[in-house]
Amino acid sequence: MNSQDFERDVRAKLAETRTRLDQFLQLPDSASFAEVLGAFDAIERPLNNVAFPPGLMSSVHPDEGVRDAADVLEQEISQFSTELSLSRPAYERLAALDPQDAADDEERRALEHALRDYRRSGVDKDEKTRARITALREELVRIGQDFDKNIVKDTRKVVFAEGSAALAGLPDDYVAAHPPAADGSVTITTDGPDFLPFITFAERGDLRKQLFLEYTNRAWPVNDKVLSQLLAARHELAQLLGYDNWAAYVTEDKMVRTPGAVQEFIEKVAALAKARMQEEYDDLLAFKRRTDPDADAIFEWERAYWVERLKAETLSFDSQSVRPYFAYENVLQGVLSTSAQLYGVTFRENLKADRWHESVRCFEIEDGGKLVARFFLDMHPREGKYKHAAQFDIRRGVKGETVPEAALVCNFPAPKEGDPGLMLHDQVTTFFHEFGHLLHHLFSTEHRFLRFAGIATEWDFVEVPSQMYEEWAWDHGVLAQFARHYKTGESIPSELVQRMRKAESYGRGLNVSVQMFYALLSLSLYDRDPATIDTTQFMLDLKAKMLPFPHTPGSHFQVSFGHLHGYSSNYYTYMWSLVIAKDMFSQFKRDLMHLPTAEAYRAKVLSQGGRRDASELVKDFLGREYAFAAYEDWLKE
């Protein structure tokens, strides 16, 4: 596929979309409820039929020309979506419908959600208010970009005059990558690959502290003001839209519904983790006292270091030692065959499908001999490609029109001469995680309404199927099926999996507590009038309330906490999804390959997309409301 074909295809579909909007607006007054609703849902369907969506192409296409064209097309599509979401005539046509005329719950829900989204965009407000809303939204794009950029731009350097002695404790490849300069000094930056190993392994605590202070002062002081602007603009926007504050606005369409429920959730999880957190903290302190008898605290720049030291002494687990069992192709076949067995479907590679790069592979899913979905795997790094791991939608499954399609984009080691692409277990877990997202999209099929097709569920439910599928990567029975030593063919020993699990659970109480501190900070900055907030003092007070580590004077972590832009008040979502994932997984606990349970999970949850509220899907699957018991067990593991 070249750049011209790609552009022509997307532009033609976009033009058809505009035509459909016009047709919708010109529907005669006599049109029935179902006709109006159907025509509204059909507006964006042409875009569901582009060969490859611009959002994906801009992240993966090897040709820079195509990537640039994709960026432009993406903006054009987003411009259209904004126009549609602010179309007063479209809103009025829908608002004139009588919900009583809906033939069933799904029609009623489709109307309700469309109207809710219109209301949330402010389309029902008077002209002056709408102008201010538009201005604020534009301003927020700029402020948000500034906030992110200031963090990325501010890579700091610390020059250690101690030279190589500063690197004592660090792995050999790290030391080799940081040779001393002509004057004998060694420079370390605050970028992740530099910072994380240093804060974890460097023996000199005073140097770790120095680097930690630089790290927690990225974007300080410049982002102090930008953060205040971000909070203020969002607060004003929320109030114009009729909400008390930003958190009330952005939780409304989530499972959680209200800021109060987020607060309750955070407090509950923090309380559940507290005993373990304290125990782990005391262990670390006792361990530290063996070399520093007068120590009375573990400081922030010491946590990773002492956790690592204590873990090394008690567990003797090296994450590199499992790599020979995880050759890429074995893992791929393992993920496919585990999924095929669980859901009774067949995966067939399609060698003829059109692809954007020769290394990309296309697979089709057949169920009972029928094609039900198609996906692409773009799994290895290359120049100009997206750097993380994610699932990208290609098409959503609309009844009579399209089977769902999606792509997984990852950066796992590629097999090459003499090296079969040995993966870390972390990466194997990521593979299962992303495949969980993929199956959620691909099994959401045969939809009447485009708006409910695919992973069209509440945002705080999205990480349930993915985090749940990670469990399969931790089970010896599942791993033994495919994790074979690439030289000897020996299956991964159960004892090794046990140690791997132990190592993973280490420090869990502290980790959960730190996550809940982030979640509380994210919520608390957005659930009140920000005019009165001094973000530094605020962060400090919350930390004192949530964590045992004394604050490091002079640090300003909040201004480089990028999620305060992207997640805003909703950093709680991952943990929220995890609680539900643990409970739903408990249904598989005795047998991860229990087919009737998998079938029920697929039918009652995965296949449903956004047809019903996530809480109802969960209840339908569990036969009760979800509970915290399984999550509590996990916290004790």
Backbone angles phi, psi at 568, to 5 degrees: 45, -115
In the complex, minimum distance from the CB of residue 307 to Zn ion, in angstroms, rounded to a whole number: 25
In the complex, minimum distance from the CB of residue 455 to Zn ion, in angstroms, rounded to a whole number: 10
Name the β-bridge partners of 327.
Answer: 422
In the complex, minimum distance from the CB of residue 264 to Zn ion, in angstroms, rounded to a whole number: 24
- Identify which of residues 212 and 461 has a Cβ nearer to Zn ion in the complex: 461
- Identify which of residues 21 and 438 has a Cβ nearer to Zn ion in the complex: 438
- Identify which of residues 472 and 549 has a Cβ nearer to Zn ion in the complex: 472
Q: How far apart are CA 67 and CA 76, in angstroms?
A: 14
Decide: 396 and 444 in contact? Cβ < 8 Å. yes
In the complex, minimum distance from the CB of residue 234 to Zn ion, in angstroms, rounded to a whole number: 25
Q: What angle do CA 64, 46, 103 make, to 5 degrees?
A: 145
- Identify which of residues 256 and 408 has a Cβ nearer to Zn ion in the complex: 408
DSSP symbols for 332-397: HHHHHHHHHHHHT-EEEE-TTS--SSTT-EEEEEEETTEEEEEEEEE-S--TTS--S-EEEEEE--
Q: Which one-letter DSSP state was computed for residue 398?
A: B
Q: How far apart are CA 353 and CA 529, in angstroms?
A: 54
Which pairing describes strands 186-189 and 346-349: parallel, antiparallel, or unpaired?
unpaired
Q: How far apart are CA 48 and CA 537, in angstroms?
A: 48
- Identify which of residues 128 and 387 has a Cβ nearer to Zn ion in the complex: 387
In the complex, minimum distance from the CB of residue 428 to Zn ion, in angstroms, rounded to a whole number: 15
In the complex, minimum distance from the CB of residue 462 to Zn ion, in angstroms, rounded to a whole number: 7
- Identify which of residues 408 and 514 has a Cβ nearer to Zn ion in the complex: 408
Q: How far is CA 86 from CA 89, 120, 183, 335, in A?
A: 9, 10, 61, 43
Please tell me the number of Cα atoms within 13 Å of 438 on its side-chain side.
Answer: 29
In the complex, minimum distance from the CB of residue 389 to Zn ion, in angstroms, rounded to a whole number: 8
In the complex, minimum distance from the CB of residue 259 to Zn ion, in angstroms, rounded to a whole number: 24
E strands, 184-260, in order:
186-189
Contacts of 110 (CB under 8 A, 6+ apart): 37, 41, 449, 451, 452
In the complex, minimum distance from the CB of residue 430 to Zn ion, in angstroms, rounded to a whole number: 9
In the complex, minimum distance from the CB of residue 437 to Zn ion, in angstroms, rounded to a whole number: 6
In the complex, minimum distance from the CB of residue 394 to Zn ion, in angstroms, rounded to a whole number: 17
- Identify which of residues 323 and 440 has a Cβ nearer to Zn ion in the complex: 440
Name the β-bridge partners of 408.
Answer: 377, 391
E strands, 151-225, in order:
157-160, 186-189
Q: What angle do CA 379, 465, 77 make, to 5 degrees?
A: 65
Tokens standing for residue 141: 């794009």
- Identify which of residues 432 and 517 has a Cβ nearer to Zn ion in the complex: 432
First to last CA, the chain: 51
Contacts of 505 (CB under 8 A, 6+ apart): 637
Coil vs helix vs strand at 52:
coil
- Identify which of residues 48 and 466 has a Cβ nearer to Zn ion in the complex: 466
- Identify which of residues 33 and 474 has a Cβ nearer to Zn ion in the complex: 474
Backbone angles phi, psi at 262, to 5 degrees: -65, -45
- Identify which of residues 87 and 466 has a Cβ nearer to Zn ion in the complex: 466
- Identify which of residues 216 and 466 has a Cβ nearer to Zn ion in the complex: 466
The residue written with tokens 């003829």 in the block is 352
Tell me the H-state helices in 485-628.
494-505, 508-524, 535-546, 563-566, 573-585, 595-604, 614-622
Reported residue count of the chain is: 637
In the complex, minimum distance from the CB of residue 439 to Zn ion, in angstroms, rounded to a whole number: 12
Q: CA torsion sign, 38 to 40 to 42 to 48? A: negative
In the complex, minimum distance from the CB of residue 78 to Zn ion, in angstroms, rounded to a whole number: 23
Q: Which one-letter DSSP state was computed for residue 178?
A: S
- Identify which of residues 300 and 434 has a Cβ nearer to Zn ion in the complex: 434
> Contact positions toward Zn ion, by CB under 5 A?
466
Which pairing describes strands 370-378 and 405-409: parallel, antiparallel, or unpaired?
parallel
- Identify which of residues 347 and 574 has a Cβ nearer to Zn ion in the complex: 574
Contacts of 344 (CB under 8 A, 6+ apart): 367, 595, 599
In the complex, minimum distance from the CB of residue 391 to Zn ion, in angstroms, rounded to a whole number: 8
- Identify which of residues 87 and 339 has a Cβ nearer to Zn ion in the complex: 339
- Identify which of residues 232 and 389 has a Cβ nearer to Zn ion in the complex: 389
Q: Which residue is nearest to Zn ion (CB)?
A: 466
Nearest to 137 by CA among 217, 233, 49, 222: 233
In the complex, minimum distance from the CB of residue 577 to Zn ion, in angstroms, rounded to a whole number: 9
Nearest to 553 by CA among 305, 227, 299: 299
In the complex, minimum distance from the CB of residue 531 to Zn ion, in angstroms, rounded to a whole number: 35
